[in-house]
Amino acid sequence: MITTTSTNPVVQAIVSGAAPPQARLAAARGLLPLPQADLLEVLVALRGSDDTETAEAAASTLESQESVDLLTAAKAPETSPSVLEFIGSMKTTREVQEAIILNSKTPDEAIVQLASSVTEASLLELIALNQQRLVRTPAIIDAILDNAARSTESERRARETRQEFFEKERGARQIAGELRAQGKTAAAEFFESADLTTATGRLSVEDAWLIAQHIEVSDADLDDSWLPLERYEDLEEDIADHQAAVQRIIESEALESGKEVTPERISLIRRIMFMNVKDRVKLARKGDREARSILIRDSSRVVASAVINNPRITDQEAENIASMRTVSGDVLRSMALNRAWARSYTITHNLARNPRTPIPTVLNMLPRIRSKDLKALSLNRNISEAVRRQASRLFQSRTPE
C-alpha cells in the first residue's frame, strides 16, 4: 500500500485505496477541493493506479500544472518527498530545478537523476556543494562526473569528495604491526583478528586508521560469556542493507540532536556500517563511546548486544540507550536484566517509559517505579495500554483512600 505524508483524511483515503473509485477518479481529474500540496501528492500517487482511466487522468492533470504552482511545491519544506521526486523528473524551469535541489526533503535518488539530466553547469555546482548528500549517496558523484555539462568547479568538488570518502583503498591488516609498535595494543588486536571486508570490498587503510582511533578495549578485558551460539559471521547482508543502515542511523541521530549530522560523522557511520557483521561485533565490544553510539542502533541484535556488553560502557550511556526508540526490544530487555543497571532508578524509569521495551519486561519493573512516575506512566499515550493500566493500578494501591 502506498503511504502518504499528508494528514488530510481525504488524501489518506484516496491514496490508500479506501475511497470509492468515483472519488479517486474525481481526484485524478483535479475536481476535489484540495490544497495544492495535497492535490499534488494525490496525483503523484494515482498516476500509478491499477485503474487505467484513473492513472491517465492523474498524469494528464499533473501535466497541466502551472510552473508557479510547481515552484511553490518545490520550495515548501512540507512537500511530500514523492512529489519532489516527481517534479524533479519533469521538464521544468531552471528555477523549479534549483528549488528541488535545495529542498532537504528531496530524495537522493531524485538528485541522482537531476545530476544526470540537467544541462546547466550552475545547477551541477549547486548539487556538488551539498557534500552530505554526495557522501550519503555516491551515485550523485558518478552522475555529476558523467554529465557533459559539468563545470570545472563541480567536477573538482565531486572528485575531491570521492577521493576523501571512497577511493583511498589499500589493505588494512598490515597496519596492525604499526599500531602495536605505537603502543595501541587494543587496536592492533582488532586488526589482527578482523576480516577487514566490507560491502564494497576491502577496508581501506584510511578507514582502518580512522576506526583504530575508536578502539579502546583490549582482549584481556573482554567477557565472551554473553555471546550467542549462532554463527553471526555468516549472516548475509547486501549493499542495500548497509546503505539502509547508514541512512537510518543518520536520520535517527539528526532527529535526536535536532540538527544536521556533520560530513565527518556521516563518514564514520558509513565506514563502520559497511563493515561485515563479525567485525562490527568486534568493534562494538572494543570500541569507544563514539563507536558505541553508532553500533547500538545496528539492526543486528548481536551487534547491538555487543555494545551493552562492552566493559567501558558508562551508566550515563546506559541511561541514554534506555530512552532511545531506535534500539531493539531485545537490547532493552537485556539491559533490564543487568543487575548493576537494575539498581539505577534513572535507567529503570527510562526503560519503563520507552515504548520499545517489551511489555512483560516493563510490567516486571513497575513495582520499582516511584508513585509520581507511575501516575505519569498511566497517562502516557506513547506506551502500551497494558502498561498504563498496570501503572494506574499500582498508583491507586499506594494512594490512601
Kindly report the pTM of this predicted structure.
0.54
C-alpha cell at 272: 563502520
The four Cα atoms 50, 52, 53, 58 give a dihedral, to 10 degrees, of: 70
106-120, 226-240, 250-264: least confidently modelled range? 226-240
Q: Does the pLDDT of residue 167 top 60, yes or no?
A: no
pLDDT reported for residue 210? 84
C-alpha cell at 316: 550515563
pLDDT tens string 269-312: 999 999 988 889 999 999 999 999 999 999 888 899 999 999 99
Residue showing cell 539505577: 344
CB of 268 closer than 8 Å to CB of 286: no
pLDDT tens string 15-58: 888 888 898 898 889 888 888 888 888 888 888 888 899 989 98
- Domain range list for the chain: 1-103, 107-167, 169-313, 323-401
Phi/psi at 304 (nearest 5 deg)? -60, -35
CA 369 to chain centre: 32
Q: Does the pLDDT of residue 160 top 90, yes or no?
A: no
pLDDT reported for residue 172? 46
Distance separating alpha carbons of residues 141 and 289, to the nearest angstrom = 32
C-alpha cell at 380: 502516557
63-67, 95-99, 356-360, 364-368: least confidently modelled range? 63-67
pLDDT reported for residue 234? 52
| 146-167 average pLDDT score | 86
Percent of the chain, pLDDT > 90? 48
pLDDT reported for residue 187? 87
Residue 345 vs residue 170, higher pLDDT? 345
pLDDT tens string 204-233: 767 778 888 899 998 888 877 776 645 555
Q: At what angle do helices 185-193 and 205-212 cross, to 10 degrees?
A: 130
**Is residue 178 very low, low, confident or very high in pLDDT (cuts 50, 70, 90)?**
confident
Q: Does the pLDDT of residue 188 top 90, yes or no?
A: no
C-alpha cell at 112: 541522482
C-alpha cell at 134: 554526495
Q: Does the pLDDT of residue 401 top 70, yes or no?
A: no
First-to-final CA distance of the chain: 51
Distance separating alpha carbons of residues 227 and 14, to the nearest angstrom = 49
pLDDT reported for residue 12? 85
261-270 burial, b for 16+ CB within 10 Å, e for fewer?
bebebbbbbb
pLDDT tens string 190-208: 887 777 778 777 777 677 7
Residue showing cell 563545470: 151
Q: Does the pLDDT of residue 169 top 50, yes or no?
A: no
Phi/psi at 287 (nearest 5 deg)? -80, 165
C-alpha cell at 18: 479506501
Q: At what angle do helices 52-63 and 36-46 cross, to 10 degrees?
A: 140
Distance separating alpha carbons of residues 196 and 173, to the nearest angstrom = 7
pLDDT reported for residue 48? 85
CA distances from 279 to 200, 234, 318 (A): 15, 12, 23
381 by Cβ neighbours in 10 Å (0-12 / 13-18 / 19+) ranks as exposed
Distance separating alpha carbons of residues 296 and 158, to the nearest angstrom = 32
**Is residue 123 very low, low, confident or very high in pLDDT (cuts 50, 70, 90)?**
very high
- Tell me the pLDDT of the chain averaged across its residues: 87
pLDDT reported for residue 194? 78
